[in-house]
Structure 1
Amino acid sequence: MLAAARERVDLPPGKLWLDYQDDVDTLYVRLKEKTHPTHSKSNLDEMIVFDYEGEELVGIEIMDITGQLKYANPR
């Protein structure tokens, strides 16, 4: 799943915390262990939401993550 996320968005180097919600097929990538986002910017065409704490990017929500895997790796 992390590889699929890296294909859809440039993830910064360093430690990442991943949370997957299977009921909505969404992967949330936290760039800090504890975050308190103050606002978000959406790219709904790409199905990605960027969360910011002030001006610092602290999280990335990637929707339809396994749906994208199905297209990348058809069986």
Structure 2
Amino acid sequence: MEKTWGEPWGKLLGQTAMKPTTAAFLILLSITVTVWVMRGLGVLTFIPGGLLWILLLGTVGAGVVDIVQKTRRW
């Protein structure tokens, strides 16, 4: 496949655009996992457990919203 400069990279690589709810879920998931692992390793020991719970519940909520949005027909 020859690369043309007028074509966007997403189309060139065969990727489709990501929905905002999916992007929000993935961002929250990556932040939560990073904070959780770094806190477990002792790097972020100053972060309270309540903040970790808020991140975890926010990630679950964003995942539920993303799944509901994907099942809608319109």
Scaled by the length of structure 1, the TM-score of the pair is: 0.28
Of structures 1 and 2, the one with the larger relative CO (CA 8 A, separation 6+) is 2
Q: Which has the greater radius of gyration?
A: 2
Which structure's residues are more often helix, by fraction? 2
